[in-house]
């Protein structure tokens, strides 16, 4: 997404109560669910700035097994008569969502062309403008597409009463992780496919098949992936990624 978390810190007064959206409401985070007429379900997320009635930013939608992610189309992403409209494209795919909106919610229609088929359906979700948007990234589950560095913390000592443990940083077996919007992933020496499952991903092939990663923000607000050990054991109980929680974040 083009706009990061820090921009929300520039807004002095959060809009916490539902009300009409003004043409210069500023930074916004939106996310929710969708379904099409073929019975496919999924989710969507938009991060943008509303200025002079126009939204500028980026969007992402998962419809069944298809993922579409791209910048908002300026001529088709706007506020008009109490309704918010968003359109974004990736290659030959396009997604359009829109409907009546307030400063806290939106409910309307889905349209577009995805994976060779026209899409018609419904959407609903939450919107957060201004500083109130700081709470949204944790639930938005934004997929990081930058190359991430992966590491875990090894516990040293602390097995004897009164002996406090120390932790040392270890390079992950993945070393690096790069996720692509087409559902493929690459590590330092392996590659494969993954599926998006709400606010997490599940690696379905390659050396780390079966691993589940949670999509969360790191301490600086950047999208990251965390592989908790309890979610990453094979049938034999052996870890899939690392012996402890693995953190994949953008290098600083």
Q: What is the pLDDT of residues 77-93, one digit of tens each?
A: 998 888 999 999 999 99
Q: How far is CA 246 from CA 96, 205, 232, 238, in A?
A: 36, 19, 10, 15
Give the pLDDT score at 132: 39
Given this model, what pLDDT does residue 2 score? 43
Could you read off the pLDDT of 41-62 as tens digits, one per residue?
999 999 999 988 899 999 999 9
Confidence (pLDDT) at 218: 77
Q: Can you give the pLDDT at residue 198?
A: 81
* CATH topology classification for 148-249: Lipocalin (2.40.128)
Alpha helices in 102-167 (DSSP H): 137-140
- What's the pLDDT score for residue 145? 86
Non-local CB neighbours of 162 within 8 Å, separated by 6+ positions: none
The pLDDT assigned to 157 comes to 66
Domain ranges of the chain: 5-139, 148-249
Q: Is 76 exposed, middle or buried (0-12, 13-18, 19+ CB in 10 A)?
A: middle
Flag residues of the chain having pLDDT under 50: 1-15, 131-140
């Amino acid at each position: 997404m083009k706009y990061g978390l820090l921009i929300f810190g520039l807004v002095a007064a959060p809009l916490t109560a539902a009300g009409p959206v003004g043409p210069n409401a500023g930074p916004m985070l939106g996310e929710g669910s969708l379904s099409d007429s073929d019975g496919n379900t999924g989710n969507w997320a938009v991060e943008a700035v509303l200025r002079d009635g126009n939204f500028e930013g980026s969007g992402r939608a998962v419809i069944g097994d298809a993922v579409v992610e791209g910048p908002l189309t300026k001529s088709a992403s706007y506020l008009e008569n109490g309704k918010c409209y968003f359109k974004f494209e990736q290659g030959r795919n396009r997604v359009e969502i829109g409907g009546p909106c307030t400063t806290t919610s939106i409910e309307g229609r889905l349209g577009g062309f995805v994976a060779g088929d026209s899409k018609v359906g419904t959407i609903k979700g939450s919107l957060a403008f201004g500083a109130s948007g700081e709470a949204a990234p944790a639930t938005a589950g934004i997929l990081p597409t930058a190359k991430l560095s992966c590491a875990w913390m090894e516990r040293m000592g602390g097995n004897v009463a009164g002996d406090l443990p120390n932790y040392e940083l270890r390079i992950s077996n993945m070393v690096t992780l790069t996720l692509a919007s087409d559902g493929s992933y690459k590590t330092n020496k392996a590659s494969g496919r993954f599926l998006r499952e709400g606010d997490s991903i599940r690696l379905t092939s390659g050396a780390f098949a079966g691993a589940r990663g949670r999509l969360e923000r790191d301490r600086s607000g950047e999208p990251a992936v965390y592989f908790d050990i309890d979610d990453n054991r094979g049938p034999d109980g052996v870890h899939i990624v690392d012996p402890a929680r693995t953190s994949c974040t953008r290098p600083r």
